[in-house]
Amino acid sequence: KALEYDLRQAVLKHELEVHYQPLIDLDSKSIVAVEALVRWRHPSRGLVSPMDFIPLAEETGLIVGIGEWVLEKACTQALSWPQLRVAVNLSPIQFRNRDLIETVRDVLTRTGLEPARLELEITESVLINDASSALDILNALKDLGVRIAMDDFGTGYSSLGYLNSFPFDKIKIDRSFIGDMNGKDKSSAIVRSVITLGQSLNMTTTAEGVETAEQATFLTQEGCNQIQGYYFSRPIAADEFTIFLENWT
Ligand code: G
Ligand code: G
Ligand code: MN
Ligand code: NA
């Protein structure tokens, strides 16, 4: 309850921040996109991870307002990085909210961000309960011109058939597989086959949680399109990201 009160206050007191993590294209070695990740700068607890407040925000419904704020913030910020796409995470609660399509359309109009530069990340869980309405929502989002990424791929319960049935532009391979890779092991085999799957379905593949040069090399050899992880940068504040971008060669 105390935390719920604090979270309501956080929104009013502007204690939420958006941090940004680069996605690197392996062909061009350039930064092609950035993922927006929310943080809470709590007056006494310090920087609170979304893992510690998104669940509460979901239970209380606060996620709808917070999510819209993150979306608008990220789209506005992306205007100052014109060469990049911006990826924003959507909670299943936001996904099922009846106003989602209108909200996304309004934010695009208000900010003037080109829709094709916005990528919405959803997890497999949104597809499970009601696949036919999920398909309607995804198609409506696609009609706005935004891109859709399947986040944390491999951790949920959805079948491979879902990849075929839903209009995903990108598959983000969950970082647990990347962290476990060791050349000849099972995780490497899974990562390799997801990359192949993405290629045959004409979807961009992104590997998350890349922390070492070895992982980056393996992913490059296997034909992964983009990588993201601490090896290049942790999620950082917008000002810091602008400098990071200027120094990237
Ligand atoms: O940045 P990281 O620790 O910091 O994020 C932890 C989890 O919180 C991840 O699963 C990430 O997808 C999620 N997350 C981060 N930012 C947002 C956001 O703006 N909206 C939603 N729904 N989830 C987010
Ligand atoms: O669920 P989603 O993929 O949106 O979450 C992104 C999360 O992954 C964030 O918490 C982000 O801080 C974290 N993250 C990003 N890069 C790395 C990495 O290289 N290693 C680890 N362990 N976590 C990472
Ligand atoms: Mn994500
Ligand atoms: Na992920």
Q: What is the structure's pLDDT at 117?
A: 98
What pLDDT score was predicted for residue 157? 74
Q: How far is the CA of 174 from the centre of ligand 4 (A)?
A: 5
**Contact 37 CB / ligand 2 (< 6 Å):** yes
Which residue(s) pair with 127 in the sheet? Answer: none
Regions of the chain with pLDDT less than 70:
158
- Nearest Cα neighbor of 210 from 10, 43, 24, 1 is 24
Domain positions in the chain? 2-247
CA distance 172 to 215: 15
Prediction pTM value: 0.97
Q: How many Å is the Cα radius of gyration of the chain?
A: 18
For residue 60, give the nearest of 9, 121, 120, 98 by alpha carbon: 9
Q: What is residue 158's predicted lDDT score, i.e. its pLDDT?
A: 67
- CATH homologous superfamily for the domain 2-247: EAL domain (3.20.20.450)
Q: What pLDDT shows up at residue 55?
A: 96
Q: Is the CB of 209 under 6 A from ligand 1?
A: no
The finding on whether 229 has its CB within 6 A of some atom of ligand 2 is yes
66 C-alpha to ligand 1 centroid (Å): 12
Helix (H, G, I), strand (E, B), or coil: what is residue 198? Answer: helix
